[in-house]
Structure 1
Amino acid sequence: MTATTEATTRPVVVRAVLLAALSGAFVATQGRLNGDLATAGAGALLAAWLSYVGTLVTVAIVVLVQGRAGITARILRHDARWWWYAVGLCGVPIVITFALGIPVVGVAIASVCAVAGQTVAGLGLDARGVGVPVPLRLTGRRLIAAVVAVVGLVVAVGSGPTTSLGTVVGLGALMFAAGAILTGQQAGNGRINLLTGDAVLPALTSSAGGTVGVSVLVAVAAAAGRLHGVTLPDEPGQWYLYLGGPLGAAITVCAAWSIRHLGTFALTLGVVAGQMVAAVVVDLVGGVGARWTTYVAVAAIAAATVLVVLPNRAGRSRPAETDRTPTPKPR
């Protein structure tokens, strides 16, 4: 890579990392809101459904405001593939498990568990070139970053409530798996962004697919009588509980743009950095508090993020490997 190309790339990578961190902060905030909505009477499943519907509506409004309704419709009609929508299903487990688990363990512990799953899965997807223009090989530094992130998971779970350690471990395992599955959505949306050059389009297709998936689950639960007693908070002061949907739209758009410049693994760690800082803040503001081990876990995740995005000895940044992005075909 020439010095000129590297100099041009570095600001883009910095912007991508900052957007990824912002996306992570939104993830933590969305999780807290959906968790509060669930405990306010909606339940985890209905809270997830409301979040997905809100995301889909928000993205649709963005497309209309941009004046891209016509071109978006043409792309979906002529170029869209079934998997554009199916990747949205990969986000369903994390939304449900966060709504279920955050009221029990707090945002910080939930975030670390999910992040560890994303980290491990991100390494594999990057090595196969999923979501990026060229594969990003597994190097010693990336492997060390993954180990550090998983150590953060172990420390965070150990900082959970000692009176219900079994519950914490069980929820942690669920959120680890959900985080690994979520990486598929991030990689899929990154691929759509590469193909179309549009970061909003993958947010539209994935939120549509996820909404259908959650709607099916809600319908099955209703038919089985599992939604009896579910209520929606209608107090004027609780309007903010329904902001999970708009935050979901911002999360998906930021991640879809950032992944093409960072790769799945680096994107995950960038998201984690913002997610963990925001998670601790949200917990402290919400009165949940945090133990010293939680701060150690946050520091471990932050260290892993720095390790994977710093330039290597040759002066070439790892994320720069994704610069060879094909020019989107004119529509």
Structure 2
Amino acid sequence: MTPAPRLPLFAGLPMAIGAGLAIPVQGRINGALGVRLDDGIAAAVVSFSIGLVLMTAVSLALPTGRAGLARILPALRERRFPPVYVLAGGIGAFFVFAQSFTVGILGVALFTVATVTGQTVSGLLVDRLGIGPAGKKAVTGIRVIGCVLTIAAVAWAVSPRFGPGRGPDDGGPAGLFLPLLLPVLAGFLMSFQQAMNGTATVHYGTPIAATLVNFIAGTAVLWTAWLIKLAVAGPGNGLPGEWWYYLGGPMGCVFIALGALLVRSLGVLITGLGMIAGQLLGSLGLDLLFPAPGSVVALATVLGTLLTLGAIVLATLPWPRGAFRR
């Protein structure tokens, strides 16, 4: 099996930003479905289940998908990568859990800052350890500065959403510790998920197979959680008839597949930063074109988004040693 050629930065980074654009749209759809069903876990089950059906159909319909399916079991039997990598989809399920349980406590703004902080820090760590298919990448001063600027820019961009009626309603710092810990941990694990999926993609020969395995694991976790919730609290409302409520799953397929494809070329950190930029741009576009109740678009939102893009450019530019001396 000949590995696919690596994408250059000028091609891969826009793809990462494009993948990130799907995240706020997916979140808006799944959030609306959760309200309609009166059950956030059920909405996640619907989204993951549709994604699983779609990826199964794609895997069986395309020759590349069928070839990838044929490589899954041999890769696992021969331990070409740690078998625990097949459970990467459980990280996505954990992210949904964190979102369901803490957004109502923290608010969207604080949840976003917490997840971006965790993802940015772990992106540096995963690249340094060489867990992803791109191998080890040094923790340079420029990359650290880019990460710090990204976190600060995201905090600035979402800062208009803080304030009376928009921020967390808690019992003080102690009451915020656990709700904050969950999204930070979920964001921290996202970089590992991308690295695991990217490594599996190399051995399967296609991101289609890695995405399918990801949806199998995530769907199994979410169905288990929902069945427990069903036994304890009973069912929510019935499924809606509007077609757009069911687009969250296909968008998740695009996001996961592109992430698995890009980490080999860009590394985990740059892929994550690109997706964060896309997430902010998508959120800004949604708030401008299709504002939801409580949406805020202020000057800080626009400038913070632009600063995020600048921080990513800073982190991705090649800064060879001695460049300034030359």
TM range (shorter): 0.7 to 0.9
User: Which residue does the alignment assign to 2:11?
Assistant: 15
Code of the residue aligned with 2:137 in structure 1: it is L
Matching of residues 66-105 of structure 1 within 5 Å: 66-68=62-64, 70-80=66-76, 82-98=83-99
Code of the residue aligned with 1:308 in structure 2: it is A
CA offsets, 1:128-184, max 9 Å, x none? Answer: 001134200100000001111221344356433422433499566543332212222
- Residue 37 of structure 2 contacts residue 43 of structure 2 at CA under 8 Å; is this kept in 1? no
CA offsets, 1:207-257, max 9 Å, x none? Answer: 111111111111111121x244x113424xx32011110111111111111
CA offsets, 1:24-74, max 9 Å, x none? Answer: 001111111111111122421111111111111111111122134643343
CA distance in 1, matches of 2:318, 2:69: 40
- Residue 134 of structure 2 contacts residue 263 of structure 2 at CA under 8 Å; is this kept in 1? no
- Residue 161 of structure 2 contacts residue 296 of structure 2 at CA under 8 Å; is this kept in 1? no
Matching of residues 110-125 of structure 1 within 5 Å: 110-125=111-126
- Residue 146 of structure 1 contacts residue 304 of structure 1 at CA under 8 Å; is this kept in 2? yes
Deviation at 1:306, TM superposition (A): 0.8
CA distance in 2, matches of 1:174, 1:292: 30
Deviation at 1:99, TM superposition (A): 5.2
1:281 lines up with 2:285 in the alignment: yes
Counterparts in 2 of 1:16 and 1:167: CA distance versus 1, 3 Å: farther
Counterparts in 2 of 1:57 and 1:75: CA distance versus 1, 3 Å: same
Deviation at 1:102, TM superposition (A): 6.5
Code of the residue aligned with 1:166 in structure 2: it is P
Code of the residue aligned with 1:195 in structure 2: it is H
User: Which residue does the alignment assign to 2:271?
Assistant: 267
CA offsets, 1:105-144, max 9 Å, x none? Answer: 8877654442222111100000000113420010000000
What SS does structure 1 have at the residue aligned with 2:249? helix
Counterparts in 2 of 1:152 and 1:202: CA distance versus 1, 3 Å: same
Code of the residue aligned with 2:283 in structure 1: it is A
Matching of residues 1-331 of structure 1 within 5 Å: 12-68=8-64, 70-80=66-76, 82-98=83-99, 110-156=111-157, 158-164=159-165, 165-167=167-169, 170=176, 174-224=182-232, 226-228=233-235, 230-235=236-241, 238-284=242-288, 285-287=290-292, 288-313=295-320
What SS does structure 2 have at the residue aligned with 1:55? helix
* TM-score relative to the length of structure 1: 0.82
Counterparts in 2 of 1:40 and 1:308: CA distance versus 1, 3 Å: same
Deviation at 1:202, TM superposition (A): 1.0
Counterparts in 2 of 1:69 and 1:200: CA distance versus 1, 3 Å: closer
CA distance in 1, matches of 2:67, 2:133: 24
CA distance in 2, matches of 1:83, 1:222: 29
Aligned CA-pair RMSD? 2.8
CA distance in 1, matches of 2:306, 2:234: 40
Counterparts in 2 of 1:227 and 1:243: CA distance versus 1, 3 Å: farther
CA distance in 2, matches of 1:203, 1:218: 22
CA distance in 1, matches of 2:206, 2:322: 30
CA distance in 1, matches of 2:85, 2:154: 31
Counterparts in 2 of 1:70 and 1:278: CA distance versus 1, 3 Å: closer
CA distance in 1, matches of 2:202, 2:66: 20
CA distance in 1, matches of 2:110, 2:36: 21
153-162 vs 294-303, which deviates more? 153-162
Q: Which runs of 5+ in 1 are unaligned?
A: 1-7, 317-331
CA distance in 2, matches of 1:33, 1:199: 25
CA distance in 2, matches of 1:216, 1:292: 44
CA distance in 2, matches of 1:289, 1:105: 17
Code of the residue aligned with 2:314 in structure 1: it is L
Q: Which runs of 5+ in 2 are unaligned?
A: none
Counterparts in 2 of 1:173 and 1:289: CA distance versus 1, 3 Å: farther
CA distance in 2, matches of 1:37, 1:293: 30
Aligned residue-pair number:
304
- Residue 115 of structure 1 contacts residue 268 of structure 1 at CA under 8 Å; is this kept in 2? no
Aligned-residue sequence identity (percent) comes to: 26
CA distance in 1, matches of 2:299, 2:102: 21
CA distance in 1, matches of 2:238, 2:322: 54
CA offsets, 1:66-86, max 9 Å, x none? Answer: 134643343222223632321
